[in-house]
Amino acid sequence: MNRLELAGLAARPAQVWGGIRLVPLVREQPVEGLRLHREVYTGYGNGVVDVGPRTHYTSYIPHGFVADWSGEGARSAAYGTQLGAGTSPGNPPPRTARLQRNRHHRMAKRQPGDRLRFLPLHLAMEGYLALHFGGPAVAWEEWSRQALRDGLSPRAEDAYMGWSVRGLGDALRAFEIHPGQCGVMVYAADALAAAFVLPHPDDYRLLHPSLVQDLYGELVHQYALYGAPVAEFAARISDGPHLRTLAGLRAAARAQEREWAEAHDTLFARELLDTSYAFDRVYRMGSFTLWRFLPPFLRNGEGQHIGETITDHKGQVAYLKTFRLSEAQIRRGHLLHRLSDADWRLAQAAVTLGTTEEELVRRIRAAGFESLLRAGAQRRKPR
């Protein structure tokens, strides 16, 4: 498995609000045997996750997702207002999203029964931050004692909450959810910002508002803030003898929908679906598996995404959430890969990158990894 395949999901015509484009994804049949709901955490402060010995991940974490493969999740957790006739022995109170403390043990943790709590997008971001986290494995003379002792610790990346992505909150609030909708692809200035897929329409309806609390990259924020409004979807049906009946008009409208779906998969979603990823298995849940993935960090100018997904035993995507990396984040990932492939030897890495050692030192410093270098190496200047 090295690619993402959205088999069973079909794109519906885009919904446009200014520079934000939402592309609904619908399923003909929900994925059987898996449900997801949200676990809400208290306060607006940082969440701290213990991810290993003396290693912590810190971020704003508004909620976690709970994957339920017990078969008892047909009635997912309620979050919001419900109308009913009150409680009685035959009419128990609705299940609600629970409030939790802000310190977590691991990104994905088993709960009682067949349930797994994981932290959406933070699971993927922690995988990116852990990229070659240990630093140099050999004490080459160029690397500092701190690099050999602590590696890339601490390491930080910037992201924006969905509330600060211009137009996203308005778009999510303005448009209706399609029947059978199980996901959405979010674009800012027609650049893919995020993909979000769930196994069941009821799960999506519940978690649709959570998109404004997700993490979005710097590039997405800039595109939404400075980008011009994008073109709206418009169906164009030519007049002809086949349009003399309602059945003919309906068939022509469906043909327009199919053309839109094909154009979307070819023009818009290509960067996500045509990329080869490195998948890391996080947890096996019966016939389902939770993965997180990283892109190849190619310097080809195209968008690249990190994320997490749950697949069934056939490889069908039941859950998906992605984060678009900025150009700087892609450069850092590319640089770390090349250094690791060269066993952290600067001379060998420079040859691989087609540059000089002095220029490589400059790139390491520009990427924010200056603390890894010894003082002597840091004083080298490009010629």
Q: How far apart are CA 336 and CA 133, in angstroms?
A: 9
* Confidence band of 261 (pLDDT split at 50, 70, 90): confident
* pLDDT, averaged across the chain: 86
Residue 185, phi then psi, degrees to nearest 5: -115, 125
Domain membership of residue 305 as a residue range: 9-80+92-133+157-235+250-326
Whether 139 is in a domain gets the answer no
DSSP state of 9: E
Of residues 5 and 280, more confidence is placed in 280
Neighbour-count burial for 177-187, b at 16+ CB within 10 Å, e otherwise: ebebbbbbbbb
pLDDT tens digits for range 26-57? 998 999 999 999 998 876 556 899 988 888 99
Q: Is the pLDDT of residue 137 over 70?
A: yes
| pLDDT the model gives residue 317 | 95
Q: Residue 109 falls within a domain, yes or no?
A: yes
CA-wise closest residue to 322 among 176, 137, 159, 135? 159
Judged by average pLDDT, the poorest of 41-55, 155-169, 332-346 is 41-55
Q: Which among 349, 210, 27 has a CA at the least distance from the CA of 361?
A: 349
DSSP-derived secondary structure letter, 211? G
In a domain, 304, yes or no: yes
Residue 312 lies in a domain: yes
**Does residue 146 form part of some domain?**
no
Question: Nearest CA to 193 among 147, 155, 160?
Answer: 160
> In this predicted structure, which of 18-32, 63-77, 307-321, 337-351 has the lowest mean pLDDT?
63-77
Q: Where are the alpha helices (DSSP H) in the chain?
A: 122-129, 145-150, 168-174, 201-207, 218-226, 246-263, 270-273, 327-341, 346-353, 357-366, 375-378
Q: What is the pLDDT of residue 92?
A: 54
Query: Is 280 a member of any domain?
Result: yes
Residue 184 maps to a domain? yes
Q: How far is CA 334 from the centre of its chain?
A: 19
Average pLDDT over residues 57-69: 93
Listed in order, strand segments (DSSP E) in the chain are 9-11, 15-17, 20-27, 35-41, 46-52, 55-60, 63-68, 99-100, 103-105, 108-111, 115-118, 160-161, 181-188, 191-197, 215-216, 278-285, 288-294, 305-311, 317-324
The strands making up 108-111's β-sheet, listed across from edge to edge, are 99-100, 35-41, 63-68, 115-118, 108-111
CA distances from 9 to 2, 23, 61, 319 (A): 19, 12, 29, 11
Tell me how far CA of residue 352 lies from CA of 238, 335, 360, in angstroms: 56, 11, 11
How far apart, in Å, are the Cα atoms of 134 and each of 48, 105, 131, 293, 344?
A: 21, 21, 8, 19, 11
Answer positive or negative: Cα dihedral of 185, 186, 192, 198. negative
Residues in the chain: 383
Name 321's bridge partners. 196, 308
CA angle (212, 216, 220) in 5-degree steps: 110
| Rounded average pLDDT over 334-357 | 94
Of 380, 377, 381, the C-alpha closest to 141 is 377
- pLDDT exceeds cutoff 80 at 78: no
Q: Name which of 169-183, 196-210, 245-259, 343-357 the model is least confident about.
A: 245-259
Residue 150 lies in a domain: no
Would you state the pLDDT for residue 85? 52
Cα separation of 294 and 308, whole Å?
9
CA-to-CA dists, residue 331 to 154, 192, 363, 380, angstroms: 19, 19, 9, 21
Residues 307/294, Cβ–Cβ less than 8 Å = no
**Among 95-104, 153-162, 330-339, which stretch is predicted with the lowest mean pLDDT?**
95-104
Q: Which helix (H) or strand (E) holds 155?
A: none
Based on its alpha-carbon atoms, the radius of gyration of the chain, rounded to whole angstroms, reads: 23
Q: What does the pLDDT average to over 344-354?
A: 94
Q: What number of other Cβ atoms are within 10 A of residue 169's Cβ? A: 17
Q: Report the C-alpha gap between 163 and 160 in whole angstroms.
A: 8
Number of domains comprising the chain = 1
